[in-house]
Amino acid sequence: MATSLATTDQPRSRTLVSAPRLSSKLSELVESEQGVFDLPAISDEMRQEVATAIGDFEASMGPAEPAEVSRMLGKLALLFPNGKLSQDEARAQNLLYAEMLADIPADLLGEAFRKAAQTCRFYPTVSEIRTCARHGLAMRSWRLMRLKGIALKHDREAR
Distance CA 144, CA 107 (A): 16
pLDDT computed for residue 1 by the predictor:
32
Question: What pLDDT does residue 7 have?
Answer: 38
The Cα 159–Cα 151 span in angstroms is 13
Closest Cα to residue 123, out of 68, 66, 81?
81
Domain segments of the chain: what residues?
Answer: 41-159
| Cα distance between residue 74 and residue 12, in whole Å | 13
CATH topology for 41-159?
Helicase, Ruva Protein; domain 3 (1.10.8)
pLDDT for res 101: 93
Q: How far is CA 31 from CA 18, 22, 26, 45, 110, in A?
A: 18, 11, 9, 19, 24
Q: For position 118, what pLDDT does the model report?
A: 94
pTM (2 decimals)?
Answer: 0.79
Q: Across the 159 residues of the chain, what is the mean pLDDT of every consecutive 10-residue run?
A: 36 57 93 92 94 95 88 87 79 89 93 95 94 96 96 91
